[in-house]
């Protein structure tokens, strides 16, 4: 018997498939990949290729051994691989990239039932695993282009621990140390604009997310400019652009209702700022999105629109 596919209404007729959506996301990530290759050279190439290849291989192997339909062709593993690579520090050894891919594909995605069933964003959980397993490796950074090794000196780290502000121009173009894909706000914004124009993603979550970060950091910067960085710095530094446009807009792990998407974006912004302002870590984008991923089913349930004519009257 052929399996029936059931999903929650409303259903819209559209020609898009997982494969075509994923293809558009890959196209949108090309500027960020180019920026990564430009700033981190061969190291970026090694990290990106090992993540993408191992993600695809793990997906294939898992589905093969469990005798499931092989869905490698839908390109979702490729997207996971690219995103995973973009949030890695440049100097990561290949075996660590392979391990992170295994965690992302097998432990986060396939064990829960494959694409569409995972609770957490696979790429982010892969990084969170590494962060807990190899904290020293994940906080060693390289300067762009020269590839000098530096420790805890991303722009956010510099500001948090030594109160040094990095200039806006290098932050915008990406000539700073950090994860290979997060440094260039410009490249990420080009990709995000493409996704928005193609209507692959909706502006609600990124807008709510970025606006919340902007508002909170404006207020705290007004209170004490010595300790708290200015709003624009908070927007450009760290992984905010990458997280807001490419991770917090993942179809599977974020709310499907309009109201829910606003809640999700604002929640991510608040958690990010709490970690950046008062947490022990300089950056909070990864944990904030993972944290809100956990709330997605609850947000969906609470904000589900009522069917006409049912429900209690106040």
Partner 1 sequence: MILKEFTKGIWKENPVLVQVLGMCPTLAVSTKVVFGVSMGLATTFVLLSSSIIISILRKIIPNQVRIAVFTVIIATFVTVADYFLKAQFPDISKSLGPYIPLIVVNCIILGRQEAFASKQPVFKSILDAIGMGLGFTLSLVVLAGVREILAFGTFFNMTIMPEGYTKWVIMALPAGAFMTLGLIISLFNWINMKGKESKS
Partner 2 sequence: MKKIIHILSVLTLVSLLSGACLVGVYKATAQKIVDNQKKATKDAIFKIFPEGKDSKQIDKKDLEIFSVTDAKQELLGYAFTCAGNGYQGEIKIMAGIEKDLNTLVGIEILESQETPGLGQEITNQPFKDEFKQLKTEPNIIYVKGEKPDQPNEIETITGATISSKAVVAILNKGIEKVRQEMGEK
Tokens of 2: 């052929």
Omega before 10 within 30 of 0, i.e. cis: yes
135 touches partner 2 by CB under 8 A: yes
Q: In whole angstroms, give the CA distance from residue 259 to residue 28.
A: 26
Count interface residues toward partner 2 (CB under 8 A): 7
Residue 6 exposed, middle or buried by CB count within 10 Å (0-12, 13-18, 19+): exposed
Position 305 contacts partner 2 (CB under 8 A): no
- The size of the chain, in residues, is 314
Strands (E), 63-214: 140-142, 149-151
Which x/- pattern, by CB under 8 A, does the window 251-270 give for partner 2? Answer: --------------------
Instruction: Give the β-pairing of 140-142 and 149-151.
Output: antiparallel
Interacting span for partner 2 (CB under 8 A) from 25-33, 135-143, 169-177, 254-262: 135-143
Residues 167-206 within binding reach of partner 1 (CB under 8 A) = none
Between 69 and 151, CB nearer to partner 2: 151
CB of 54 to partner 2, least distance (A): 25
Rounded-to-integer distance, Cα 314 and Cα 224, Å: 44
Instruction: Tell me if 61 contacts partner 1 by CB under 8 A.
Output: no
Q: Which stretch binds partner 1 (CB under 8 A): 45-53, 131-139, 171-179, 241-249?
A: 131-139
Q: Is 278 in the site for partner 2 (CB under 8 A)?
A: no
Interatomic CA distance for residues 295 and 261, integer angstroms: 11
To the nearest whole angstrom, how small is the minimum distance from the Cβ of residue 280 to partner 2?
Answer: 7
Q: CA distances (Å), 267 to each of 172, 262, 294, in order?
A: 25, 8, 12
Q: Tell me: does residue 133 bind partner 1 (CB under 8 A).
A: yes
User: Using CB under 8 A as the criterion, what x/- string covers residues 148-167 for binding partner 2?
Assistant: ---xx--------x------
Rounded distance between C-alpha atoms, residue 214 and residue 211, angstroms: 5
Query: Strand pairing partners for 150?
Result: 141
Using CB under 8 A as the criterion, which residues of the chain lie in contact with partner 1 when the complex forms?
A: 107, 129, 132-135, 137
Residues that bind partner 2 (CB under 8 A): 135-136, 139, 151-152, 161, 280
């Amino acid at each position: 018997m052929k399996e029936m596919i059931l999903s929650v209404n409303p259903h819209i007729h559209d020609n898009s498939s997982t494969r075509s959506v994923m293809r558009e996301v890959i196209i949108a990530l090309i500027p960020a990949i180019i920026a990564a290759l430009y700033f981190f050279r061969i190291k970026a190439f090694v990290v990106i290729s090992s993540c993408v290849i191992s993600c695809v291989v793990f997906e294939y192997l898992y589905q093969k051994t469990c005798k499931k339909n092989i869905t490698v062709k839908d390109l979702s593993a490729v997207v996971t691989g690219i995103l995973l690579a973009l949030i890695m520090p440049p100097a990561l050894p290949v075996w660590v990239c392979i391990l992170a891919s295994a965690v992302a594909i097998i432990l986060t995605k396939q064990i829960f039932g494959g694409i569409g069933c995972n609770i957490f964003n696979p790429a982010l959980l892969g990084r969170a695993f590494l962060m807990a397993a190899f904290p020293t490796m994940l906080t060693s950074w390289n300067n762009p282009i020269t590839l000098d090794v530096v420790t805890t000196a991303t722009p956010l780290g510099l500001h948090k621990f030594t109160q040094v502000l990095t200039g806006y121009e290098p932050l915008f173009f990406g000539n700073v140390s950090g994860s290979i894909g997060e440094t260039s706000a410009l490249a990420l914004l080009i990709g995000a604009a493409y996704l928005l124009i193609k209507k692959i993603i909706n502006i609600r979550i990124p807008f709510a997310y970025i606006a919340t970060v902007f508002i909170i950091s404006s207020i705290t910067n007004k209170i004490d400019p010595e300790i708290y960085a200015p709003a624009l710095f908070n927007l450009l530094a760290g992984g905010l652009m990458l997280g807001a446009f490419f991770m917090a807009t993942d179809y599977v792990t974020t709310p499907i209702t309009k109201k829910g998407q606003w809640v999700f974006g604002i929640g991510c912004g608040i958690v990010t700022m709490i970690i950046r302002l008062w947490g022990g870590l300089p950056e909070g984008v990864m944990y904030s999105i993972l944290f809100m991923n956990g709330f997605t089913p609850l947000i969906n349930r609470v904000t589900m629109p009522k069917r006409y004519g049912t429900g209690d009257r106040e």
